[in-house]
Amino acid sequence: MIENMMELDKLKEECGVIGIYAPGLKNISQLAYFGLHALQHRGQESAGIAANDGGRIQYYKEAGLVQEVFTDEIIRRLQGDIAIGHVRYSTTGDACVVNAQPLVVQHKGGGIALAHNGNLINAPEIREQLQDQGAIFQTSIDSEVIANLVARYSTTLSAEEAIRKTMEQIQGSYAVALTLGQKLIGVRDPYGLKPLCIGKFEGGYVISSESCAFHVLDAEFVRDVAPGEIVVIEDNEIHSMMGIKGEKKAFCSFEFVYFARPDSVLDGQSVYISRKNAGKILAQEHPVEADMVIAVPDSGTVAAIGYSEESKIPFGEGLIKNRYVGRTFIQPTQKMRELSVRLKLNVLKENIKGKRLVLVDDSIVRGTTSRKIVDLLKSAGAKEVHVRISSPPVKYSCYFGIDTPARKNLVGATRSVEEIRKMIDADSLGYLSIEGLFRSIQMPGDILCGACFSGNYPMEVPRESSQYVFEKR
C-alpha cells in the first residue's frame, strides 16, 4: 500500500520552491511568505516554511493555500538567517500534511530543511536499499530520499560533496532549495527539467522556482541555476560547483504552455512572449474565418491575444472567470470536474451571441474543460465555436512533475483530432504543432522536453502499467 502511495506521489507532484538568505534582516519568514504567494500557482494543496537559526531549524507546514496556512504569529515565530519555502499541488487525494514540505531532518551535524520540485524516477529503488540498511522514512514522498542521502553523506563530507554524491544516485527531475549549516543551497538536475533561478535584494539573496517571485521581494534577477549545478550562498557570496554534468538539457516545455506564470522568465525566455508567439504560430497553422477571438481565462489569454494579432480577428471577452475558485483540475471525480467548470466560468452572452468564435486555450488534457465550455458558449447563442489549442495534443504521461493522468485518460492519447473535435462538439479544432511550440519558446527543440506530446523522454522512464494501479484503486 505504501509502495503504491509512493509511486503515486512520484508521478503527481507539482511544486514551487523558494530559499531566502538574509542574515541581519529580522523578517526572513515574512520574505519567504511573500515569495510563496508569488509561487502559489505552482501548488495549492499545502504550504510550508522552515527557518534556519544558526543550525536550529523551526518550521510550519499545513494543508491549504499560503494565506490560509500562515498567521502573523506563526511568521513571527519562524526566526533565522535562512528560510526555505514550498507550495505543493497533487491530485492524489492524499492531502496528508506529513507529505507537505519543506522536509526537515536532523543529522549528526544539525538540521537540514529541503524543498523539492520535480519527481525522482528511481526513488522507490533507493528507498528500498536505504530501508534494507535500516533507514526509516516518515513520508511517502520521493523528496525524502534526497534528504536521507544528503544527511548520510554530510556526516563525513562537506555539504557540497554530500549533494554531489546524492546527485550521482538520484534520477529524474529536481529543482531543490535547501539549507544546511549556514548555507542556502540551490540544486538543479542535470537535464534542467525544472526551473530554478537566483535573485539578489538589499540584504540578501533568493533562490526561486520562478523569477516572478523576485518582483514581490524587490529583488533583481542574477541568473538561472545551470543544469547539474550546485549553487551555495554563504558569507553573503554565491559559490558554485558542477554537481553532475548532464548529457543534454531538456527543459520542460509544459512550463511555458501552462504551468509557469506569464510574468516569469525561464532560462532566459519570457513566458509571456512564448505564449504570445504560440498564439501567433497557431493562427498561421490553423487559420479560420471568425468574428471574435476569445480565451479560456486565464490559461489561454496570452495565446488568444497572439492569435488575434496574427489573424487580425478582434480579441474580445466571452468568458468571465470567478477568480476565487481554485483550479478545476483539483476536483477528484469526473462529475465534480464538470460542475466546477460552471462554478469557475460564466458566459458573457451579450458579447458572443450570434458570433463565430475562435476559442483559445493552452491545452486539452482529459477534454472535460473544452467540452463544457463549447457547450456553454453554444447554449448562450454562439453561432460557431472553433477551438484552437496553443500546445500539441498531450499524448503521454509526464514522469517529471507535471500532473498528467494515466494515458488511458489522456484524450489525445486515445482519440484522433477529428474524434476529439466531435467529442467536444467544436466546429473545428486545431492544435499547435510540436515544431511550432518549440519555435514559440525560442529555444532549440533539442534542449526542451516535449515528452508529454511526443513520447520522447529525455531518460528511461518506468513502465506505464504502474500508473494504472492507482487509477483502479
Which residues would be at the binding site for ligand AMP (CB under 6 A)?
A: 258, 296, 299, 327, 329, 361-370, 402-403
CB of 212 to ligand AMP, least distance (A): 17
| CB neighbour list of residue 57: distance below 8 Å, 6 or more residues apart | 50, 51, 80, 104, 110, 111, 112, 113, 179
Q: Which of 305, 459, 290, 262 lies closest to 377, judged by CA?
A: 290
User: Per-residue DSSP letters for 206-233?
Assistant: EEESSTHHHHHTTPEEEEEPPTTEEEEE
Find out whether 208 and 17 touch, Cβ atoms under 8 Å: yes
Q: Which of 55, 157, 69, 168 lies closest to 112, judged by CA?
A: 55
- Tell me the residue type at 191: Y
CB of 84 to ligand AMP, least distance (A): 24
CB of 296 to ligand AMP, least distance (A): 6
Is 15 noted as a catalytic residue in this protein?
yes
* SS3 labels along 98-150: HHCCCEEEEECCEEEEEEEECCECCHHHHHHHHHHCCCCCCCCCCHHHHHHHH
CB of 398 to ligand AMP, least distance (A): 8
What CA–CA distance (Å, rounded) separates 332 from 366?
Answer: 13
Instruction: Kindly report the length of the chain.
Output: 473
Largest Cα separation within the chain, whole Å, is 72
CB of 329 to ligand AMP, least distance (A): 4
Comparing CB distances to ligand AMP, the nearer of 327 and 422 is 327
Q: Which member of 15, 197, 252, 449 is catalytic?
A: 15
Find out whether 117 and 175 touch, Cβ atoms under 8 Å: yes
Comparing CB distances to ligand AMP, the nearer of 15 and 402 is 402
CB of 460 to ligand AMP, least distance (A): 23
Comparing CB distances to ligand AMP, the nearer of 30 and 467 is 467
Give 3-state DSSP helix, strand, coil % of the chain, rounded to 5.
35, 25, 35
> Which three cell numbers mark 359?
476559442
Comparing CB distances to ligand AMP, the nearer of 183 and 372 is 372
Comparing CB distances to ligand AMP, the nearer of 113 and 377 is 377
Only one residue has cell 538539457, namely 249
Comparing CB distances to ligand AMP, the nearer of 99 and 301 is 301
Comparing CB distances to ligand AMP, the nearer of 240 and 428 is 428
CB of 439 to ligand AMP, least distance (A): 21
Q: What is the dihedral of CA 31, 33, 39, 45, to 10 degrees?
A: 160
Helix (H) or strand (E) holding 434: helix 434-441
> Tell me, what DSSP letter sits at residue 433?
-
Residues annotated as catalytic are: 15
